[in-house]
Structure 1
Amino acid sequence: MFSGSIPALVTPFRDGAFDEAAFRRLVDWQIENGSSALVPCGTTGENSTLSNAEHHRVIEVCVEQAAGRVPVIAGCGSNDTMNALLHMNFSKKCGAQAALVVGPYYNKPSQEGLLAHFSYLAENIDLPVILYNVPGRTVTDIMPETVCELAKRYPDTFVGIKDASGDLSRVTDHRMGIGRHFCQLSGDDELALPANAAGAVGCISVTANVAPRLCADFQTACAANDFEKAREINDKLYPLHYAMFEDSSPGPCKYALSRVHDWIENELRLPLVPCSEEAMKAVDKALEHAGLA
């Protein structure tokens, strides 16, 4: 259903407020440079610091600006099931094609709790869901058995997963437990190459914010089984993948974007702050290595 290079978009701020004009330009630039879908209000979009009104406005602007050119997978996750449903209802109403729903964070539910959470969402709204598993941030790991059970119970709802567990064996676990139709997307840029070789079909990417054309060309090469070309592009991107996490994300990403475009401010919301000087140097070096600066 979804494949290729899918940026988890940053949310630009200017003087503390959502910079709608910059976000619209970012959406256009991403589409013009080959991104195959867009994710507003994911982790990289600082969704945890947005009010519900801001969260919904970011999704709405993304859908408006994309104007059907590529699908929008709206970030709808929450540690509150009812708030996740609220985001999903709004996203469906404004025209998003799917929701990205992270495992509930902080509460630390059991696997039974995760089944109950996601089942409730599936039973109360008709919107395709990409599960998002990132235990390093949520402290909750959506285990392969749980993913497979959800996909079997609700095959029209749970259509794929963004996996950032770092465990590449899960690509095979999911493929064998569900089937090839289940859309597997890497949640780690640096693991996209081996994930694609194992059966994934794309990446929900931080790096694609900064290097959309290279990331799109990389995914195109993987889809064509041209792994020689894919490795060549991956080698260009590899330092940038790591530089994006030299400091708390999306600090390095926003700094990189401010280097590439003068219309995006290097501004984050507390408790996040702009990245350190050491991280800036790593980003500068990686941008040069990729031919972007």
Structure 2
Amino acid sequence: MAGISVKAEGTVRRLREGMAGGVLAFPLTSFGEDGVLDLESYRAYLAAQLAAAPGAVFPACGTGEFFSLDEDEYRAVIEATVEVAAGRLPVVAGVGYGWAQARRFARIAEEAGADALLVLPHYLVAAPQDGLVEQLRQVAAGTSLPLIAYQRGQVAFTVDGLRRIAGIPNVVGLKDGHSDLDRLQRLTLAAPDGFLFFNGAATAEVQARAYAAVGVPAYSSAVHAFAPEIAGAFFTALRDGDDAVVTTLLRDFYVPLVELRDRVPGYAVSLVKAAARLRGLPVGPVRAPLTDPGPADLAELTKLLDTGLTLVAAS
């Protein structure tokens, strides 16, 4: 990470401290019933999210339906997040698509006051390591903000690729969504000192023990988006070595949630948004191509949510 600015170094330090102190929050984006962006509701929802003291906030990423936002909506979401966060924690905005479009989003995020960027997997095509590295190099060349690469889907770095992206001055970390722990261990061993890693698997808590065992204890939490009480209780139990609470929450809440999530494509987002609505949070529906859960799945989700909240209250 040689060559980053003093400001970027400060952001990396805050991110490292935040990752050690709480889950990483990926807020939902609020839409009205007509599908129009609802910024007033988003601000209210986000304020409740931040009151639970996550380690950092990542607006307009996968959970926030980045793929459904136009540039004006994206700017409004990042500006609102920066406003509500008010400097209390780092704001890491999602950017993506091809590098030229990702640069446009990066410029918007930087103008809106974001502290760093999460570079989502590029659009559609598979690519060799040279192309993956060059994609990040091109995005990095268009912004002064620190970048965290997200490997998932068609993006997976080799040890050599990791060393090369870590040599790009403002690339400071990697979010992993593959859960290939052998590869991940090799990547962490090859990375320079201070390079950030975090678990970005879907419903990351299910694999949090395994990631921690290879030196990656930090993780993002989709559950935080609708039940920060549950996400916070799990994080605390895992950090404090309370295996009984961790096991109970995994067995009775997280694993059944994953089984429900895996029934329908897109439930990794739409089920989370439905759970937030069940809690009375003003997030609205998902946008196409996602679809909201049907009555039977909503009934099962309601029971799961009740179970999780009851377990936390009893712990």
TM-score, normalising length: structure 1:
0.88
* Aligned residue in 2 for 1:258: 277
**1:17 Cα deviation after fit:** 0.7
* Aligned residue in 1 for 2:162: 147
Q: Does the C-alpha gap of structure 1 residues 235 and 159 become closer, same or farther in structure 2, counting only changes over 3 Å?
A: farther
* Aligned residue in 1 for 2:64: 45
* Aligned residue in 2 for 1:193: 209
Measure, in 2, the Cα distance between the counterparts of 1:195 and 1:224.
Answer: 16
Measure, in 1, the Cα distance between the counterparts of 2:109 and 2:143.
Answer: 11
Would you say 1:183 and 2:196 are equivalent positions? yes
Would you say 1:27 and 2:46 are equivalent positions? yes
* Aligned residue in 2 for 1:158: 171
* Aligned residue in 2 for 1:61: 80
Supply the RMSD in Å over aligned alpha carbons: 2.3
Q: Percent identity?
A: 26
Would you say 1:75 and 2:88 are equivalent positions? no
Measure, in 1, the Cα distance between the counterparts of 2:221 and 2:156.
Answer: 20
Unaligned runs of 5+ in 1: none
* Aligned residue in 1 for 2:187: 174
Deviations 1:214-264 (A, max 9, x none): 323433444455555544554454133444444323111111011011533
Measure, in 2, the Cα distance between the counterparts of 1:30 and 1:236.
Answer: 24
Select between 25-34 and 142-151 the one with higher mean Cα deviation. 142-151
The answer (yes or no) to whether the contact 2:28–2:225 under 8 Å persists in 1 is yes
Deviations 1:148-198 (A, max 9, x none): 3211x12x4222111111212233122200145222111122212321232
The answer (yes or no) to whether the contact 2:120–2:150 under 8 Å persists in 1 is yes
SS at the partner of 1:43? coil
The answer (yes or no) to whether the contact 2:27–2:59 under 8 Å persists in 1 is yes
* Aligned residue in 1 for 2:8: none
The answer (yes or no) to whether the contact 1:81–1:121 under 8 Å persists in 2 is yes
Measure, in 2, the Cα distance between the counterparts of 1:170 and 1:27.
Answer: 35
Q: Does the C-alpha gap of structure 1 residues 220 and 183 become closer, same or farther in structure 2, counting only changes over 3 Å?
A: farther
Measure, in 1, the Cα distance between the counterparts of 2:232 and 2:115.
Answer: 20
> What code does the residue aligned with 1:185 have?
F
Would you say 1:240 and 2:257 are equivalent positions? yes
Deviations 1:119-138 (A, max 9, x none): 12223322111111121xxx
Unaligned runs of 5+ in 2: 1-11
* Aligned residue in 2 for 1:116: 134
> What code does the residue aligned with 2:257 have?
L
Measure, in 2, the Cα distance between the counterparts of 1:191 and 1:101.
Answer: 22
* Among candidates 216, 221, 226, match of residue 232 of structure 2: 216
SS at the partner of 2:188? helix
Aligned residues: 286
Deviations 1:27-81 (A, max 9, x none): 1111111211111111111111111111121111111111111111100122x21
Select between 197-206 and 53-62 the one with higher mean Cα deviation. 197-206
* Among candidates 219, 227, 230, match of residue 203 of structure 1: 219
**1:95 Cα deviation after fit:** 1.6
* Among candidates 152, 157, 174, match of residue 134 of structure 1: 152
SS at the partner of 1:44? coil
> What code does the residue aligned with 2:186 have?
D
The answer (yes or no) to whether the contact 1:34–1:213 under 8 Å persists in 2 is no
Measure, in 2, the Cα distance between the counterparts of 1:246 and 1:202.
Answer: 27
TM-score, normalising length: structure 2:
0.82
Measure, in 1, the Cα distance between the counterparts of 2:135 and 2:143.
Answer: 13
Select between 277-286 and 85-94 the one with higher mean Cα deviation. 277-286
